[in-house]
Structure formats: C-alpha cells, structure tokens
Structure 1
Amino acid sequence: MQEHVAKLDALRGTTKDADRRTAINAEFHRVDGMLDKMLPQLMAFKTEESGLNTEYMLLLQDVRALSLSRQHQEAIAEQASTHKAEKHALADFVSTIVSRAPASESNSVPSIPSLSATIEDFVRFKRAQGRWTAKTEAENRAVYELFKLIVGDKPLVEIDDDGIVSYLETLKKLPPNINKAPAYVGKSIDEIIALAPETTMAARTINKNVERVSSLFKWAMGKKKYGVTRNPAAGMSVDESGAAKRQPFTNSELAALLRSEEFATREFENPYAYWLIPMGLLTGARLGELCQLYLSDFVDHNGVPCIDVTDEKEGQRLKNANSKRLVPVHSKLIDLGLLQYVDGLRKAGAKRLFPELNERRDGFAQAASNWFQRHKRKCGIDGKHTKVFHSFRHTFISALLDDEVPEHSVAQIVGHESNLITGKVYWNAKDAAKRKPTVEKYQPHEDVWRLIPKFEQVRIVPRRGPR
C-alpha cells in the first residue's frame, strides 16, 4: 500500500497534467480493486472478533454464576451449622427444664377417662338434672359395675362391637341377682360362670342392662373428653319372645285374693291393705300412682268425681308424660265408700290418701309392694314375675279392649301413649263426662265383687310387734 502512495506522490510532480491525471486514475482503480478484494477478509475478521467478544461475555457470566453459587452454598452451610447448634442447645434446655419439673407437669396431654371415671361423670350429670331417684341411681350403678367387671376398666372409646357382643354373651351365662346371692359374693365373673348356674338372667333383664349401657354411650358421644363417636350398644338386644310376661288375673285368682283372712274377718292392718286391690282393679292405675295420691288429687269436674294422676306434689313421680291424666272414679269404688273415706281424712287434717305409707328410696309404694307380694303368696297365687300388682292393670285394660272399647279411649284412662294427635293432649274438665262410660265398661264378675265388704264394715287393726 505504501508503494502505491509513493507512486501517487510522484505523479503529482509530473508537468504534463493530462498524463498525470490519467496515471492517477489508473492507480486509484488499482487501489480500489485491491480494497475490494480485502473487504471480505476484513468483514470476516470483524465477525470473528465479535464472536470472540460474545463468548468472552458468556464466559464471564458463567464465572460470576459459579462464584455466586459457591457463595450461596457456603452461606447455606453456615446457616445449617448454626441451626444445628441452636437445635442441640434448645434440646438441652428443654431436657433440663423437664427434669426439674414435677411429674404431674411433665405430661400436659390429657388422657381419656377410664370407664369408672366416665360412669361417675354420667351419674353426676343425672343428679344435676334431677332425673334419677336414689333407687334409679343404685340400679344403674349396679349395671355399670357389672359392665366394667366384664369388659374391663378401659376408656369407653376402646369398647367396640366385639366388646358389646362379648358383654351380651356373658350376661346370658350369668345368674339373676348376682350382687345379692351369697354364693356369688367375692367371686369373679369367670368363677361364677364356671359354677354353671341353673337359672340365668332373664332376657328382659339382659335387655335392660344393655339399654342402660347404650344410654352411657349415647351421653358420651360428641363430648371431646371421652373420644366416643358412635354407640356400639345401640340396637343390641336378645329375643324376649319366650320370656315370661305379666298376665291379667283370672276370676278365680281374683276370688282367691279376696277370700283371704283379712277380707273374711274384715280386719285389716292398715287402710291400703283394704283399698289397693279394688282401686287397682277399677282404675287401671299403677301401684306407685295410687300410693302417692294426695287428698287434693280427688277432684270434681261438672259433677263427675275424678282422680287427678299427676306429679306436681312433693314426692310424686310418674313413669312418663303420658301418665298424667284424669281418671273418673268408678261407681263401684263410690259404693265401697272411697269418697266418704277421702272426706273423713280431710276433716281429720290429713293430706295424703295413705299417710301410713312413708316415702322411701322407691317412692311411697315400697311397703305396699312388699305387702302385696306376701298377700298373693299367702293366697296361693303363683308366678313371681307374671302375676304381680301390675296384673290388676292388665285385667282392667284387657277387659275394656275385649269389650271393643277403642284403644285411644283406653289410653286416656290408663296413661298409655295414643296414636291420635288428640290423645297426646291432657284432656280438660269437659271430657270427664265423656270418659266416665269408658271406666264403667269394666264390671268385675259378681262372684268376685261380692267378696269385698264396704269400708264402713271393716276395722283397721294395726299390727303390733315384728311381722
């Protein structure tokens, strides 16, 4: 290239202008041709240089990333080391605190109550509600104690379907009155079963036990404290179709009850020994309902004398809501002198129909119930469970139904639940005249009724000394 420039300078000194211009143009053409040939090479070099620069920049980026990654890894490692050291320090601190704390504070997680504790909670709840009498509480406690002996004193939530089935199977092998019979006192469940009792628990008793266990589960369900979410005892029962059921008295049995020494001599230890049999027969009322009557429960509605069966006074209890009712007084009870007897007590300042009956754990009926058991045995009436005072109620109801009295009409008199909507309402005073014919429908056989003297013909001779 320098050679060509020198030639151009030499040409500028030539005197002949035309020749000089020609020579200069020729030289420029030569130079342009050379530049044209060099241009692709220059462009290729430029491109290579640009590629080198790009690769260099990418390399720098990779180096920076590797550097940052290493720094990041070092930071993480440092943090992990610090966390590990802090974790060990915290564990040592907690261990020191726990070792110094009392045993009761070392375990703050509450445990699920045992069966015994759950039973006590349930009993306390029932007491607070006022739903249980002392007798009811004792009966339930006996059931739950037997349940605990069979399944173990474990939390209720640990008793499943298999546990309830085993409980049911065990009950079927046990004798009745397991807590009362001297032969079984102090023996385990397995030892009692090994004795092979001749008489085992009645189906009805077994089902009552299971029902009470089911009530315990039902109460505990949904309460977080006990962890119970279902009731494995619900719907569990044994077949009662072959079990002995209460039966009405036959006319011959009624006659036997009324031919006793008391009715023959017309001397009775107390008024209830005279009145309870005819009242039970002609009202269909339960023994407890009769024994707890107050004189104020004898009312008059539009000329119709009635007995107000209620639970509104001190010591009175009813089986259920349907038991509250008005019972028109049967004309035969009036003939015996019941209303005159009531008036006489009122004049004497008494408050109850049978003031000689004291309230006990079972209510007012315990002494009367014991009296009737002795009375029927003395009269030769068999059937410990089938022929009881409640059989008077069965006699009254069966006679009315056999006489084609509508069931809902009978329900109003005896306090059964009626399928009719109107049967669920406590009927008012104007219904007394309508219900009176229902009561009068039952007429005892004349051979039976003539054995009962009027009250004015009898004497009350209290018994002295032990029975």
Structure 2
Amino acid sequence: MARDKVKRNVVALCSVPKGKGGRPSKALTFAQAEAVLKAAESSRMYAYIVLSLLTGARTEELRALMWDHVDLDGAQDASPPVPPHVAVWRSVRAGGDTKTRKSRRTLALPKRCVDLLRQHREAQQREQGDAWSESGLVFASATGKPLDAANVRRDFRNAIKDAQGVDPKEWTPRELRHSFVSLLSDSGIPLEEISRLVGHSSTAVTEAVYRKQIRPVLQGGATAMDHIFEQ
C-alpha cells in the first residue's frame, strides 16, 4: 500500500480473535528465596532449584543439561584461572538448541552449586546405576529418563509446600529465573551484565520482562550469588 502496489490490505479485513491474558510472572524476595531453599533441602528437586535460582538457567536448559557440560573443578592453574562452570549449550527445544544464539553461554558456578552438584552426582549414581551413566543427564527421573515439564512443575510445588510465606500454587519453576534477575538487580549488578548471564540478546527483555525491582566464563552472577547466599 505504501508503494501503491495494492489498493487494500486484505489482512485488515480479518476479524482477529481476542487473545487470552497471560499470567504475569513474579520474582521471589530474598526472604522468600531463602524459605524456598530451606523447604526444598530434603527434596529430589533441591539441586535443580538451587541451580536454577543461583545461575538463572531456563528450566528447558536444565532439563537437557549433561554432566559432560558441567566442570566442578575448573582449572585454577590456567592463565587466566578457569572457575568451576556449567556450559548452557542445549535445551529440550526441537533440535536441542537453546532459545537464541546468545542463550549459548558458559557460566561460573557459585560455591553452593558446586558443593551441591557433587552430592547430587554421588546420590544419582547410587540411585540410578547404569541408567545414570547411559543417559548422562544431570537431572533425570529415578530410572535415568529425561524429565518432562509437567513433572518438574509438580515436583517443584511439592518441594516448596512448606516454604514459609510462599504459596506453592502461585509459583512455577521458571520464576526462579526471574528471581535470579531481581536478586542480582537488588545487589547492584549492572543490567548489561545480568542480560549476558541470562542469555538475552539485549537488555530490553531483561528490563521489561525479567527485572522485577524498580531498580568467556561469565563470573559476575556466581560471585554475587556467593555473597547473597553466604554459607
């Protein structure tokens, strides 16, 4: 129409169905996050919840995470030193790729995640035996099979049912990622760094969707989380 090639935009004649309003996402406060971690300690979901909250990885990325992409030792003698880290390079999306190119990232692990993942790997190997080694998944069912989204949501809500000040019916696993962004923002981490940590292509999405406050290996998130959740 702008170039006078057609006289009418036929799409404008279509009646568009009214969309259903989406559920607004929320972020845990620090007190709520502490309550969630405490309530989940004895749960099978504990390592999953801690890694999601302290690294900001998407649930679809954690469900596809392989032990081959987790380095719990790092290389402290290297120049520069390489901290323990996780390579977020896969997801359960079609084709196994992450949401966007920038979503492929390597994140330093907070100490709490390193310690817990060591314990999780030992417990998983005892529980699953050969099934664990065959699948190579960090988070899997008791038989070594991949987790599906519905089971993760259900197990997450069961894990946090005793969290003080948190109604499990009102929270989903993906909001741990939103909480990661807000907790870092509260701690003064620049928006640009937070955007890199969560794998966004720009700060616009981080600002508009993820940040709930008014205000090589990426290490900023791990350093801040070690400070926020001091052991």
Fold conserved (TM > 0.5)?
A: yes
The answer (yes or no) to whether the contact 2:157–2:168 under 8 Å persists in 1 is no
Measure the CA separation in 2 of the matches of 1:365 and 1:394.
17
The answer (yes or no) to whether the contact 2:61–2:91 under 8 Å persists in 1 is no
Measured after TM superposition, the shift of residue 437 of structure 1 is 4.0
Q: 3-state SS of the aligned residue for 2:14?
A: helix
AA aligned opposite 1:325? R
The answer (yes or no) to whether the contact 1:293–1:353 under 8 Å persists in 2 is yes
The answer (yes or no) to whether the contact 2:55–2:180 under 8 Å persists in 1 is yes
Q: Does 1:245 align with 2:17?
A: no
Which residue number in structure 2 is paired with residue 163 of structure 1? 14
Q: Does 1:257 align with 2:44?
A: no
Alignment gaps of 5+ in structure 2: 1-8, 204-215
Alignment gaps of 5+ in structure 1: 1-157, 172-200, 205-243, 420-430, 450-467
Match of 2:54 among 277, 282, 285: 282
The answer (yes or no) to whether the contact 2:108–2:222 under 8 Å persists in 1 is yes
AA aligned opposite 1:282? L
Measured after TM superposition, the shift of residue 378 of structure 1 is 5.3
Measured after TM superposition, the shift of residue 400 of structure 1 is 2.1
Q: 1:437 to 1:368 in 2, by over 3 A?
A: same
Structure having the larger proportion of residues in helix: 1
Over the matched positions of the two proteins, sequence identity in percent amounts to: 21
Q: 3-state SS of the aligned residue for 2:139?
A: coil
Measure the CA separation in 2 of the matches of 1:375 and 1:338.
18
Q: Does 1:409 align with 2:193?
A: yes
1:287-366 matches, cutoff 5 A: 287-299=59-71, 300=74, 302=78, 303-311=82-90, 316-334=96-114, 336-339=115-118, 341-342=120-121, 350=133, 351-356=136-141, 358-359=145-146, 364-366=148-150
Which residue number in structure 2 is paired with residue 460 of structure 1? none
Q: Tell me the C-alpha RMSD between the 2 structures.
A: 3.5
Q: 1:410 to 1:254 in 2, by over 3 A?
A: closer
Which residue number in structure 2 is paired with residue 418 of structure 1? 202
Per the normalisation by structure 1, the TM-score is 0.36
Measure the CA separation in 1 of the matches of 2:148 and 2:53.
19
Q: 1:364 to 1:317 in 2, by over 3 A?
A: farther
Measured after TM superposition, the shift of residue 284 of structure 1 is 0.9
Which residue number in structure 1 is paired with residue 5 of structure 2? none
Measured after TM superposition, the shift of residue 279 of structure 1 is 1.0
AA aligned opposite 2:57? A
Which residue number in structure 2 is paired with residue 372 of structure 1? 156
1:43-442 matches, cutoff 5 A: 160-165=11-16, 167-168=17-18, 171=19, 201-202=20-21, 204=22, 245-260=24-39, 263=41, 266=42, 268=43, 270=44, 273-299=45-71, 300=74, 302=78, 303-311=82-90, 316-334=96-114, 336-339=115-118, 341-342=120-121, 350=133, 351-356=136-141, 358-359=145-146, 364-377=148-161, 379=163, 381-382=166-167, 387-418=171-202, 431-432=216-217, 435-442=218-225
Please list the CA deviations of residues 50-75 of structure 1 after superposition, one character each: whole Å capped at 9, or x if unmatched.
Answer: xxxxxxxxxxxxxxxxxxxxxxxxxx
State which structure, 1 or 2, has the greater radius of gyration over its C-alpha atoms. Answer: 1
Per the normalisation by structure 2, the TM-score is 0.66
Measure the CA separation in 1 of the matches of 2:175 and 2:91.
26
Aligned length: 193
Measure the CA separation in 2 of the matches of 1:384 and 1:366.
14
